[in-house]
């Protein structure tokens, strides 16, 4: 038998909460510790209630100790998440909406404070915490083009210090871009590029092969004939860029 207490918001649509399960398994052990004699009747209702109260409290302490172990891990914390965020000065970007996104922001901030070399391994761990897949693009001058003699470099020497972070659109692109910009080394200029998504939509007689939104409020699309189109939000017609 167990006593269960559920905590969290009382709203009907609540999706977050946690519970404490207080087991009564300690009652027999406590009863066995009582001395013998008529004054310590194990079957006496008052005595049983007293044993149950002590057992429930000891079990509660045991459960809360296990919960503390969970709360010390930022990837599983729930009750102490506001304390983690306050300690780390979060949110320093857009306010995450989901519990998982808030936990990921805590992990990313801890990784940043530990120091990093802006290498692939570091960014893989950050984006994994934010639940984003990563494509890592480096622009080496050794890459050549065969348009002429196959000896023409695609990039000049200074591009050796430049890399691109390419991700697919996920839960919170604004949060991702903010995290990258906050954690990038001061002498770097990071750019986050969101991959275009195939969108089999039509605009009148024009078939749209790919579509994406820009930060300045335009919707940009590629038509069937590879024409680059754009339209302002709410516009009913496309205009050629």
Token couple for 23: 């087991």
Cα gap 23→6, rounded to integer Å:
14
Q: What number of other Cβ atoms are within 10 A of residue 191's Cβ?
A: 14
State the average pLDDT over residues 149-174: 59
Which H or E element spans position 219?
Answer: strand 219-223
Q: Give the tens place of pLDDT for each residue, 196-205.
A: 444 445 555 4
Cα gap 8→6, rounded to integer Å:
7
Q: State the DSSP code for 54.
A: H
Residue 137 pLDDT > 60, yes or no? no
- Please, what's the b/e burial string for 147-167 (b: 16 or more CB within 10 A of its CB; e: otherwise)? eeeeeeeebeeeeeeebebeb
Nearest one of 194, 234, 200, 237 to 214, comparing CA atoms: 194
What share of the chain in percent tops pLDDT 90? 8
Q: Decide if 193 contacts 180 (C-beta within 8 A).
A: no
Domain residue ranges in the chain: 2-71, 81-194, 197-240
pLDDT in the model for residue 189 = 65
SS3 179: helix
Give all strands (DSSP E) within 9-116, no chain letters.
17-23
State the average pLDDT over residues 184-198: 60
Cα gap 30→23, rounded to integer Å:
13
Q: Give the tens place of pLDDT for each residue, 45-54.
A: 999 999 988 9
Q: Give the tens place of pLDDT for each residue, 58-103.
A: 888 888 888 898 899 998 998 999 999 999 888 877 677 788 888 8
Residue 236's pLDDT band, with cuts at 50, 70 and 90, is low
Cα gap 50→37, rounded to integer Å:
17
- The residue ranking higher by pLDDT, 177 or 82, is 82
What residues are paired with 2 via a beta bridge? Answer: 23
Q: What is the mean pLDDT of the chain?
A: 69
Q: Decide if 105 contacts 179 (C-beta within 8 A).
A: yes
Q: Give the tens place of pLDDT for each residue, 108-120.
A: 788 777 666 666 6
- The residue ranking higher by pLDDT, 137 or 124, is 124
Q: Decide if 229 contacts 240 (C-beta within 8 A).
A: yes
pLDDT in the model for residue 240 = 60
pLDDT in the model for residue 182 = 76
Which H or E element spans position 197?
Answer: strand 197-203
Token couple for 43: 């079957």
Q: Give the tens place of pLDDT for each residue, 1-47.
A: 444 444 444 444 444 455 555 567 888 889 999 998 888 888 899 99
Nearest one of 173, 171, 190 to 182, comparing CA atoms: 190
Residue 128 pLDDT > 70, yes or no? yes
pLDDT in the model for residue 101 = 81
């Amino acid at each position: 038998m167990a006593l269960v207490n559920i905590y969290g918001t009382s709203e009907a649509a609540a999706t977050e909460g946690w519970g404490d399960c207080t087991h009564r398994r300690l009652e027999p052990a406590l009863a066995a510790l009582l001395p013998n004699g008529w004054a310590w009747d194990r079957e006496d209702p008052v005595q049983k209630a007293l044993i149950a109260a002590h057992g429930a409290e000891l079990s509660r302490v045991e459960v809360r100790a296990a919960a503390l172990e969970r709360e010390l891990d930022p990837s599983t914390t729930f009750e102490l998440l506001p304390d983690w965020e306050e300690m780390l000065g979060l949110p320093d970007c857009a306010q995450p909406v989901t519990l998982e996104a808030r936990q990921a922001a805590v992990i990313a901030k801890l990784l940043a404070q530990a120091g990093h070399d802006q290498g692939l391994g570091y960014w893989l761990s950050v984006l994994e915490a934010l639940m984003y897949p990563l494509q890592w693009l480096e622009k080496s001058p050794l890459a050549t083009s065969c348009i002429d003699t196959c000896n023409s470099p695609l990039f000049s020497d200074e591009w050796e210090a430049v890399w691109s972070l390419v991700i697919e659109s996920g839960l919170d692109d604004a949060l991702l871009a903010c995290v990258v910009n906050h954690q990038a080394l001061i002498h770097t200029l990071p750019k986050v590029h969101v991959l275009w998504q195939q969108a089999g939509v039509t605009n009148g007689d024009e078939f749209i092969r790919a579509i994406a939104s820009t930060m300045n409020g335009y919707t940009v699309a590629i038509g069937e004939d590879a024409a680059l189109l754009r339209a302002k939000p709410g516009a009913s017609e496309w205009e050629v860029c």
